[in-house]
């Protein structure tokens, strides 16, 4: 995968060539770094042939870091390896993916023991096998499917003021406090994430996992960081790209639009286009 170069004070668009088009699924990605961006926004997008196991599997993820680049970097490097080596893969992809999130978080925190850091990252991932997509997420990076022109959210953001999330945090002894927005311990604006060692009792890396059978009605799947969803609704995003057959151009359209609407966050986006 290509690393994003560090460029302070300059807005850059990374608009890389398609890695693969197997005639059924194509994908493209676009990453826009905010003015103060370091290297905290990462993504993964690839098809892998799993010998003797599942045939071709599509692996896609957005990893949006906070507090430093290390968590996003580690998760991007390790999460899908953990998935592919899980004993439940590919017979139970949902279970394997859930376990891979938790295991990768543990391994990250172990690897960073002694390092005086508190990096974290959110993630939304999509695993594609045959005509099934399995989506898992922690935090506020989101997956949205376009089915027959309608937007269907395949993930529900883990915000600290979601009533179930607030209950879970409070049951663990934590607090959700208003500080510009709702924050765990007055600090973090998401309620689940990788890393975030100091808040780990409350900010877990257990994902929500959702399995969806894809149909001939399904057109696109958008995975994007909160920098996109802060300024675009799910419906707007789906509508913006409905007439753009090229997945790369669609991804770029979304990040350009989010930037144009004044998102001052870092924006990462992957678009998958289905032709079933």
Ligand X SMILES: *[C@@H]1O[C@H](CO)[C@@H](O)[C@H](O)[C@H]1NC(C)=O
Binding site for ligand X (CB under 6 A): 34, 36-38, 40, 159, 161-162, 181-182, 264-266
Which CB atom, from 110 or from 181, has the smaller least distance to ligand X? Answer: 181
Which CB atom, from 157 or from 248, has the smaller least distance to ligand X? Answer: 157
Per-position b or e across 96-130, b if 16+ CB within 10 A of its CB: bbbbbbbbbbeebbeebeeeeebbbbbbbbbbbbe
Minimum distance between the CB of residue 170 and ligand X, rounded to whole angstroms?
Answer: 14
**Which residues, 6+ apart, have CB-to-CB distance to 33 below 8 Å?**
4, 7, 11, 12, 41, 266
What is the number of other CB atoms lying within 10 angstroms of the CB of residue 199? 20
Which CB atom, from 66 or from 273, has the smaller least distance to ligand X? Answer: 66
Nearest C-alpha neighbor of 34 from the set 73, 65, 56: 65
Which CB atom, from 61 or from 65, has the smaller least distance to ligand X? Answer: 65
Minimum distance between the CB of residue 12 and ligand X, rounded to whole angstroms?
Answer: 12
Minimum distance between the CB of residue 162 and ligand X, rounded to whole angstroms?
Answer: 5
Minimum distance between the CB of residue 246 and ligand X, rounded to whole angstroms?
Answer: 27
Dihedral, CA atoms, 72, 249, 212, 225, nearest 10 degrees?
A: 30
Minimum distance between the CB of residue 160 and ligand X, rounded to whole angstroms?
Answer: 8
Closest-CB residue for ligand X?
Answer: 40
Which CB atom, from 125 or from 266, has the smaller least distance to ligand X? Answer: 266
User: What is the rounded CA–CA span in Å between residue 157 and residue 124?
Assistant: 10
């Amino acid at each position: 995968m290509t690393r994003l170069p560090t460029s302070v004070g300059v807005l850059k668009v990374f608009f890389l060539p398609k890695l693969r088009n197997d005639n059924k699924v194509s994908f493209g990605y676009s990453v826009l770094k905010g003015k103060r961006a370091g290297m905290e926004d990462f993504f993964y997008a690839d098809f892998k042939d799993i010998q003797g196991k599942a045939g071709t599997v599509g692996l896609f993820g957005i990893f949006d870091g906070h507090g430093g680049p290390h968590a996003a970097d580690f998760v991007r490097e390790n999460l899908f390896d953990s998935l592919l080596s899980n004993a439940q893969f590919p017979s139970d992809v949902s279970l394997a993916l859930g376990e891979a999130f938790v295991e990768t978080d543990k391994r990250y925190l172990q690897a960073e023991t002694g390092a005086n850091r508190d990096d974290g990252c959110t993630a939304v991932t999509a695993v594609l096998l045959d005509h099934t997509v399995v989506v898992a997420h922690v935090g506020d990076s989101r997956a949205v499917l376009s089915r027959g022109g309608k937007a269907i959210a395949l993930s529900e953001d883990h915000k600290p003021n979601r009533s179930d999330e607030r209950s879970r945090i409070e049951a663990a002894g934590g607090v959700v406090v208003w500080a510009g927005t709702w924050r765990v311990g007055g600090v973090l604006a998401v309620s689940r994430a990788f890393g975030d060692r100091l808040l780990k009792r409350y900010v877990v890396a257990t994902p929500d996992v959702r399995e969806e059978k894809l149909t001939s009605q399904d057109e696109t799947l958008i995975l994007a960081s909160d920098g996109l969803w802060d300024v675009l609704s799910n419906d707007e995003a789906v509508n913006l790209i409905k007439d753009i057959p090229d997945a790369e151009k669609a991804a770029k359209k979304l990040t350009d639009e989010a930037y144009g609407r004044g998102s001052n966050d870092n924006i990462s986006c992957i678009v998958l286009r289905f032709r079933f």
